[in-house]
Chain A
Amino acid sequence: MSKIIEFKQVYKDYPQAGTQQTVLYDINLTADAGEFVAIVGPSGNGKSTLLNLLTGIDRPSRGEVIVNGTALQKLANHKLTAWRGLNVGIVFQFFQLLPTLSLLQNTVLPMDFLGKLTKPQRNERAKMLLERVGLAAEMHRLPSQISGGQQQRAAIARALANDPPLIVADEPTGNLDAATSDSVFELFAHLRDQGKTLVMVTHNEVLANAASRKIEIRCGRIHADTSLEPLY
């Protein structure tokens, strides 16, 4: 298996009250393509910062973050944006679908930004993705017209729009009930089966234990890194 994620001696500091507050210490981490990694740990201990470094939303203060062969800390902002569009699909806790666009348009939008496919091809792909997440009948509806679980499914479809090798999810089930969380999690498992690498921050221990690997972050450090037998 090839390595898709590499964190080499990564530190992240934030200025706070005139001093530098370190939130991540000496993170060394690798993940192979096709892994399903759950990141757990108490709030405020660096999980989201780790995700931000992984997606190029933030840069490390020291060390290297290499994702899919690209050293992110070396990329200029505008190149990072293009890189992210191609390589990472992000799923947020509050779904964050654009409220004025239908599910279909929300799914087309990342492809529009990248501009690789023709317009009919983009539409076709978006329809196919929405069908895959079980939203074929809802594709012309607005986010406000569907349930939270459906919105999160649509957000997953959007994350897959440019067929990125890496899907990153920040508390994807944090705002969903148990049954809906299960269905979303099942979707992630299917993605893993299709060869996607998934990294998910969650507080839900049951779901975390259903991943193939669980990394626990405490006080900015990797406290535990455990391989698991996937449930799904």
Chain B
Amino acid sequence: MNTLWRKVWADLWVSKSRSLLAVISITMGVFCVGTLFGMIDLQLGKMDAAHQQSQPSHINLILRHDADLALLEPIKALPGVSGVETMTQLTVYFRHPGASDWTLATLIIRPDYARQRFDKSVLQAGHWPTPGTVAIENLSAQSSGLKLGDSIEFKSPMGSQTLQVDGIVRHPFVKPPKFGGQVHFFASTTDALQFGIAANSFRQLLVQIDPPYKLDTTRSIAGQIRNILANQHIPVNAVLFQDPLRHWGRPFLAGVNGVLKLMALSALALASVLILNSISAHLVQQIRQIGVMKALGGGTASIAAIYLCETLLMALLAIVPAIPLGLAAAYFSSCHLLGLFNIDCGGFDYSPRAVVYMIAGGLLVPALAALGPILRSANLTVRVAIADHGLGADFGYSRVDILLERIAARCLPTLYAAAFCNIFRRKLSLLLTQSVLVIAGSTFLVLMSLIASLNLTLDHEMARSQFAIRLSFVADQNEQQVLDIANALPATERVENWQRLAIEMSKEGTALRQKGNLGAQLLALPSVSSLYQPLIESGRWLQAGDAGKRVLVVSSDTAKLNGIKVGDSLEIALGSIRQDWRVIGIYRWLVAGSYAVEPVYAPLETLRAITHVKDMASFSLIQAAIKNRAEEADYLEQLKQRFQDQHILLDVYNTQAKLEQRQFSRNQFNPVLGTLLGLAAMIAAVGGIGVTGALAINVMQRTREIGVLYAIGASSKTVYRLFLLEGLLHGLAAWLLSIPLAYLAAEPIARELGKTMLGIDLDFAFDLNAVFYWLGIVLLLTWIASYWPARKAARLTVRECLQH
């Protein structure tokens, strides 16, 4: 090994703490890049792969009544249709034998599980359902605790029966129970008879069309199928379109990934700040050696090469642990997120792109970050490099320093004044450390404001809902019977019955594009309704005078996607009836993601006049004398029991109490918010390391000063307090700076994040409480970050310090 290489190794070894700090800084940055880019690639790749593997149907029609298999022939014969398959989903009650409470569940019946063609479910354990047995969906098994061999008692309008759980099945499209989905079971066609499903009948139609998949063609074919069904008087509840190559959850993850990319770049930028800090400190300590080397004939290039080698060596040492850690974190985090979509993560996998980024970023960024300070130091003259200035060559030369000292001297006790001014001594380091902490703080405040805005938006939405309970029926019910049952409860104040009907909308002959990919649904309400009104963005809400008129209120998403304005005319297909309707208002739709049926509001009187179906209710809004969630839950339970006693099945997805609904609405945003807060925590951790680095370097660089403090009578406790105080002042300064920055940035960012990640226009609220939470967090963070450097400073002896 030549002498220069020996020096490179010796420099790193002699300053172990500082080298370690630099290595940790690079490791953190590379780890973040690997994790975040790895997550982006793995999530989308695995998501689409799982989706394609399930052979998704392109059109999924959910029927309101049973249909006969004979209906399939004309559908199969439609031009462009390449395959048709049927299945049935129905709502049932289940319980463990002997248990008192019944729970709602979805029962799926497929004609031949072994030969599924579209929307394939996968058997994970046990067997496919046979007569007398059921299989349970994987997420349902996890949430309900049901396992193979358990006996389950089922109840339907046809009576009850006990079946044994004999298989666990992964279904590609179920809503996870933790986000409000219900338990799903799979049964055989033989047992279907006992649930009232006749042989050779079905309630759901899965259709694939000839490739290539095009949404417009698919919509057109779906329209033709609906016509065939309408001719047979079979109404459709919802129509779902699926891109065969892209998973339906992609828009959600695309939003998350946009933020992940931003975070990855921020993490790398922050890490390079830390590296710059460490390298600068290293070079400050090496200046005398640089002078000596120059005096001995060392050229600028060869001196710069030594320190560049040291930097690259540290980068290499950092990359070695960062790559496996980053890849592992990317894999496990992706698996966690994919689990929300019921996607099996499979064996360990990694993103080659993330590996390339980690290696390139891990080597290039530190080298580039260090290049400036290295060249500056290598260019110093011998005289400057070997000069010894004692203490204080770094403060008091600018007007700012003098001003700061005057302010501190006037307002603070001497020790506090020293701590205050000390943080301004190395301004580049201060700037870098502060930028890390300020970015972390602003990110936190922006995210908290995003959450506050979401809560405010939901509160406003709740304020527009005057009902306590929304009671939804599996099949339309007699209006009077519903009124009688609901009014029998003393707390009931008012009942309003609504009807719903799946519709197709087009404008000037072109089917409308919609945000909700489960299709559109006409929600017909009394034109004098006072129990609900969405936020109207333009035009107006329904009025008494609209009764009998073909007028609509559509979502702003649909309006934007299709260029619809108030006053425009839309063609609405209600079964086989196609008529022109006028848009009178545009409302804001609050829904996360796009896996939803989009409501279109219209007067109930008009719908009844068109369909000639009178006195029926699809769901009811009930106003009641309820004060809190406990009373609400109790009231809802009583209602459910009364309807159950009358053998009226409630649709669990859409039956919700208002306060519970608020929580449910809030919960659907939890995965996104959790991810964002996790990333903010990651940035805060990088900030913490930044402060530790800055202070640790301070201790190293100010060792002699610590000795002087001891020599003039300072105790260890005083020195400890001084450095701790400096750390806390860093935190306090970052806190103060992040408030105006976050205040200015929060509204545009929260609104943009609301649109891209949550899919809604938020009512903005700046979270003032979060300002104080962040104060607590940043002080704790900087206290933790300054603890070790302060402790180290307090443990130095006077002799060690003065010899430094």
Contact residues, B672-731 vs A (CB, 8 A): 704-705, 708-716, 718
CB distance from B174 to the nearest CB of A (A): 64
Residues of B within 8 A of A57 (CB): 710-711, 798-799, 802
Residues of A within 8 A of B393 (CB): 99
CB distance from B256 to the nearest CB of A (A): 46
Q: Is B391's CB within 8 Å of the partner chain A? A: yes
Contact residues, B395-429 vs A (CB, 8 A): 395-397, 401-402, 405-406, 408-409, 413-415, 417-418, 420-422, 424-425
Q: A54 vs B408: C-alpha distance in the bound complex, in angstroms?
A: 35
Interface size in chain B (residues, C-beta < 8 A): 42
Q: Is B73's CB within 8 Å of the partner chain A? A: no
| Contact call A94/B389, Cβ cutoff below 8 A | yes
| Contact call A142/B713, Cβ cutoff below 8 A | no
CB distance from B213 to the nearest CB of A (A): 69
**Chain A residue nearest in CB terms to B390:** A94
CB distance from B3 to the nearest CB of A (A): 22
The secondary-structure label for the interface of chain B is: helix
Residues of A within 8 A of B508 (CB): none
**Chain A residue nearest in CB terms to B391:** A96
Query: Given A58, A99, A113, which contacts B713 in the complex, CB threshold below 8 Å?
Result: A113
Q: A158 vs B417: C-alpha distance in the bound complex, in angstroms?
A: 17
| Contact call A113/B714, Cβ cutoff below 8 A | yes
| Contact call A142/B715, Cβ cutoff below 8 A | no
| Contact call B414/A99, Cβ cutoff below 8 A | no
CB distance from A115 to the nearest CB of B (A): 10
Q: A109 vs B714: C-alpha distance in the bound complex, in angstroms?
A: 9
Q: A142 vs B708: C-alpha distance in the bound complex, in angstroms?
A: 17
**Chain B residue nearest in CB terms to A89:** B712
Q: A99 vs B392: C-alpha distance in the bound complex, in angstroms?
A: 4
| Contact call B409/A99, Cβ cutoff below 8 A | no
| Contact call A98/B392, Cβ cutoff below 8 A | yes
Q: Is A173's CB within 8 Å of the partner chain B? A: no
CB distance from A189 to the nearest CB of B (A): 23
**Chain A residue nearest in CB terms to B392:** A99
* Among A81, A145, A158, residue most surrounded by chain B Cβ atoms (within 10 Å): A81
Q: A93 vs B388: C-alpha distance in the bound complex, in angstroms?
A: 11
**Chain B residue nearest in CB terms to A52:** B799
Q: Is B394's CB within 8 Å of the partner chain A? A: yes
Q: Is A100's CB within 8 Å of the partner chain B? A: yes
CB distance from A33 to the nearest CB of B (A): 21
| Contact call A101/B713, Cβ cutoff below 8 A | no
| Contact call A105/B414, Cβ cutoff below 8 A | yes
**Chain A residue nearest in CB terms to B402:** A142
> In which size bucket is the chain A interface?
35 or more
| Contact call B715/A78, Cβ cutoff below 8 A | yes
Residues of B within 8 A of A140 (CB): 406, 409
Q: Is A27's CB within 8 Å of the partner chain B? A: no
| Contact call A112/B413, Cβ cutoff below 8 A | yes
**A100-B712 in contact given A57-B802, A109-B414, A112-B414 (Cβ < 8 Å):** no
Q: A100 vs B425: C-alpha distance in the bound complex, in angstroms?
A: 8
Q: A95 vs B393: C-alpha distance in the bound complex, in angstroms?
A: 12
**Chain B residue nearest in CB terms to A123:** B414
Query: Given A55, A98, A145, which contacts B391 in the complex, CB threshold below 8 Å?
Result: A98
CB distance from B263 to the nearest CB of A (A): 36
Contact pattern, B 25-64, Cβ under 8 Å of A = 1, otherwise 0: 0000000000000000000000000000000000000000
CB distance from A27 to the nearest CB of B (A): 18
| Contact call A92/B414, Cβ cutoff below 8 A | no
| Contact call B713/A102, Cβ cutoff below 8 A | no
| Contact call B413/A100, Cβ cutoff below 8 A | no
Residues of B within 8 A of A66 (CB): none
**A113-B425 in contact given A144-B397, A145-B402 (Cβ < 8 Å):** no
Residues of B within 8 A of A86 (CB): 713
* Among A77, A144, A175, residue most surrounded by chain B Cβ atoms (within 10 Å): A144
Q: Is A65's CB within 8 Å of the partner chain B? A: no
| Contact call A94/B391, Cβ cutoff below 8 A | yes
CB distance from B389 to the nearest CB of A (A): 7
Q: A30 vs B797: C-alpha distance in the bound complex, in angstroms?
A: 27
Contact residues, A26-72 vs B (CB, 8 A): 52, 55, 57-58
Q: A81 vs B710: C-alpha distance in the bound complex, in angstroms?
A: 7
Contact pattern, B 764-776, Cβ under 8 Å of A = 1, otherwise 0: 0000000000000
CB distance from B195 to the nearest CB of A (A): 81
| Contact call A108/B414, Cβ cutoff below 8 A | yes
**A98-B396 in contact given A105-B417, A110-B713, A142-B401 (Cβ < 8 Å):** no
Q: A112 vs B417: C-alpha distance in the bound complex, in angstroms?
A: 12
A positions within 8 Å CB-CB of B: 52, 55, 57-58, 77-78, 81-82, 84-86, 90, 92-102, 104-105, 108-110, 112-114, 119, 140, 142-145, 158-159, 161-162, 175
- Report, nearest first, the 8 A-B pairs whose CB atoms are least far apart: A85-B713, A99-B392, A94-B390, A144-B396, A100-B421, A142-B396, A113-B713, A99-B395
Q: Kindly list 13 other residue pairs between chains A and B, CB separation below 8 angstroms, not including A98-B709, A142-B395.
A: A94-B389, A94-B391, A95-B391, A99-B395, A99-B425, A100-B401, A101-B421, A102-B405, A105-B414, A105-B417, A110-B713, A113-B713, A144-B395
12 A-B residue pairs with Cβ-Cβ distance under 8 Å, sorted by A, are A82-B713, A92-B708, A94-B390, A94-B391, A100-B408, A101-B409, A101-B418, A105-B409, A109-B714, A140-B406, A144-B397, A145-B396
